[in-house]
């Protein structure tokens, strides 16, 4: 009797397992997931208190399923230097834009097709495109949409470009004015 109940319980557990795991994995891969921001490269916007209190952000994967981002978005990309790590930076320029770099080997550069130029808000303390160059759009992982922890910093992340870091010549300027 107990054995039968135990077997039924096991069957229910295994059945539930086979439903829960694929659904969870699919949601985390396709919809959104949560991640802690470590480091100071996006100060003062993210992690303003540094190591003592790390922000937790919601990364929207559904938004980037067609690789559509805009200048000023905060995105997470797979690091070109280390494929096991994700880095979170701000998109400064899209493909075709002509920009002035801060500390890259070329002073001025046209962002190649299918690439992005990303920078951390904290200049000088950020490993970003200024060190490894434009990143391919295929490395785009998620769009940071909300800060969800700590509770006093709960907010929706708005798109904003630092004033002096916009593109010099924008390939998409005409489309933006119309839209």
Partner 1 sequence: MELCAAGPSPTLLRCLLLPRGRHQSRDSFPLRGCLLLQTPFHLESSGRRSISDKGLGEPPDTRAVGDLGRIWGRTGRREEEEEEADGHEEMLRRALGKALGLVGYTVQYGCIAHCAFEYIGEFVVCSGPSMKPTIVDNDVVFSEHLSRHLFRIEKGDIVIAKSLSDPRMNVCKRVIGLEGDKVCTSGPSDIFKTHTYVPLGHVWLEGDNLKNSSDSRSYGPVPYALIRGRVCMKLWPPHSVGPMKESPTGRIIKTKPHSDWD
What are the residues binding partner 1 (CB under 8 A)? 18-19, 21-23, 25-26, 29-30, 67, 78-84, 112-115, 135-140
Q: How far is the CB of 30 from partner 1 (least distance, A)?
A: 7
Cβ 157 vs Cβ 145: under 8 Å: yes
Q: Which is nearer to partner 1, 43 or 79 (CB)?
A: 79
The nearer residue to partner 1, 26 or 160, going by C-beta atoms, is 26
Taking residue 130's Cβ as centre, other Cβ atoms within 10 Å add up to 19
If the CB atoms of residues 123 and 172 are measured against partner 1, the closer one turns out to be 172
CA pair distance 36, 133, nearest whole angstrom: 25
> In terms of CB distance, is 56 or 137 closer to partner 1?
137
Q: How far apart are CA 118 and CA 114, in angstroms?
A: 13
Can you list the positions of beta strands (E) in the chain? 32-36, 56-60, 74-78, 86-93, 98-100, 108-110, 115-119, 135-136, 140-149, 155-156
Least Å distance, CB 6 to partner 1, is 25
Smallest gap from Cβ 141 to partner 1, in A, equals 9
Q: 140 has which bridge partners? A: 77
Minimum CB–partner distance for residue 134 and partner 1 (Å): 10
The Cβ-side half-sphere exposure at 40, using a 13 Å CA radius, reads: 9
- Phi then psi for residue 89, to 5 deg, are -145, 175
The HSE-up count of residue 29 (CA atoms within 13 Å, CB side) is 6
Return the active site residues: 41, 89
């Amino acid at each position: 009797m107990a054995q039968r109940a135990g077997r039924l319980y096991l069957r229910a557990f295994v059945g539930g397992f086979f439903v829960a795991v694929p659904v969870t994995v699919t949601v985390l891969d396709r919809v959104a997931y949560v991640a802690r921001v470590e480091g100071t490269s996006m100060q003062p916007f993210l992690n303003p208190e540094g190591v003592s209190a790390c922000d937790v952000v919601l990364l929207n994967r559904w938004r980037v399923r067609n690789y559509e981002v805009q200048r000023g978005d905060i995105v997470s990309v797979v690091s070109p230097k280390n494929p096991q790590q994700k880095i979170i930076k701000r998109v400064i320029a899209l493909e075709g834009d002509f920009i002035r770099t801060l500390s890259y080997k070329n002073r001025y550069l046209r962002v190649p097709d299918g690439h992005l130029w990303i920078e951390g808000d904290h200049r000088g303390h950020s490993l970003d495109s200024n060190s490894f160059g434009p990143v391919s759009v295929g490395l785009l992982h998620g769009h940071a949409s909300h800060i969800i922890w700590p509770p006093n910093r709960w907010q929706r992340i708005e798109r904003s470009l630092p004033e002096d870091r916009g593109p010099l010549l924008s390939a998409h300027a005409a489309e933006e004015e119309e839209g």
